[in-house]
Amino acid sequence: MRTLDGKFDVSICLGLDDATLAGAPRKMILGSWERLREPDSVVIDKAGYQLLFPDQPLQLDRTLELNDHKATIVGISDASAPFASYPVMHARYSQAVNFVGSERTQLSFILVKPQAGVKTPELTKRIEDTTGLRARTSEQFQWDCVVYYLKHTGIPVNFGITIAIALIVGIVVAGQTFYIFTIENLKQFGALKAIGVTNWRITRMIVLQAVIVGAMGFSIGSGLCTVFFAITLQNMATRGMVLLWQNVVGTGVAIFVVIIIASLISIRRVLVLEPAAVFRG
Partner 1 sequence: MNSELAVQCRGVEKAFGNGGGKVLALRGVDLDVRYGEMTLLVGPSGCGKTTLLSVIAGLLNSTAGEVTVLGAQIEQLPGRQQILFRRQNLGFVFQQYNLLPALTAAENGAVPLLAAGVGRRKAIGEAKRLLSTLGLGDRVDALPKQLSGGEQQRVALTRALIHQPRLLVCDEPTAALDADTGQAVMELLAGEAVRPERAVIVVTHDNRIFGFADTMARMDDGRVVSVESEPNFGSEHVFVPHQGMKQEVRV
Q: Residue 194 interacts with partner 1 (CB under 8 A)?
A: yes
**Which residue, 94 or 188, is less far from partner 1 as judged by CB?**
188
**Which residue, 202 or 241, is less far from partner 1 as judged by CB?**
202
Give the SS3 label for residue 200.
helix
Q: Half-sphere exposure of residue 21, counting CA atoms within 13 Å on the CB side?
A: 15
96 near 24, Cβ under 8 Å?
A: no
Q: Residue 280 interacts with partner 1 (CB under 8 A)?
A: yes
Interface map 150-189 toward partner 1 (x if CB under 8 A) = -----------------------------------x-xx-
Beta carbon of residue 193, minimum distance to partner 1 (angstroms, whole number): 8
Beta carbon of residue 267, minimum distance to partner 1 (angstroms, whole number): 17
**Which residue, 114 or 275, is less far from partner 1 as judged by CB?**
275
Distance in angstroms (rounded) separating the CA atoms of residues 59 and 50: 11
Q: Residue 198 interacts with partner 1 (CB under 8 A)?
A: yes
Beta carbon of residue 195, minimum distance to partner 1 (angstroms, whole number): 6
Q: Residue 207 interacts with partner 1 (CB under 8 A)?
A: no
Beta carbon of residue 189, minimum distance to partner 1 (angstroms, whole number): 9
Distance in angstroms (rounded) separating the CA atoms of residues 72 and 222: 43
Q: Site for partner 1 (CB under 8 A): which residue of 21, 29, 191, 236?
A: 191
Beta carbon of residue 196, minimum distance to partner 1 (angstroms, whole number): 3
Q: Residue 241 interacts with partner 1 (CB under 8 A)?
A: no
Give the SS3 label for residue 88.
strand
Give the SS3 label for residue 63.
strand
Q: Residue 274 interacts with partner 1 (CB under 8 A)?
A: yes
Distance in angstroms (rounded) separating the CA atoms of residues 72 and 42: 6
Beta carbon of residue 208, minimum distance to partner 1 (angstroms, whole number): 12
Q: Residue 14 interacts with partner 1 (CB under 8 A)?
A: no
Give the SS3 label for residue 46.
helix
Q: Residue 201 interacts with partner 1 (CB under 8 A)?
A: yes
What lies within 8 Å, CB to CB, of 76 at 6+ separation is 28, 29, 30, 31, 43, 44, 45, 46, 49, 58, 60
Using CA atoms, how far residue 191 sits from 19, 110, 202, 242, 278, in Å, is 81, 71, 11, 50, 6
Using CA atoms, how far residue 231 sits from 144, 210, 228, 241, in Å, is 29, 31, 5, 10
In this chain, which stretch among 74-82, 123-131, 144-152, 270-278 interacts with partner 1, using CB under 8 A? 270-278
What lies within 8 Å, CB to CB, of 124 at 6+ separation is 112, 135, 136, 137
Measuring CA to CA, which residue among 43, 39, 36 is closest to residue 17? 36
Q: Site for partner 1 (CB under 8 A): which residue of 22, 195, 244, 272?
A: 195
Beta carbon of residue 172, minimum distance to partner 1 (angstroms, whole number): 25
In this chain, which stretch among 5-13, 49-57, 78-86, 271-279 interacts with partner 1, using CB under 8 A? 271-279
Q: Which residues bind partner 1 (CB under 8 A)?
A: 185, 187-188, 190-192, 194-198, 201, 274-276, 278-280
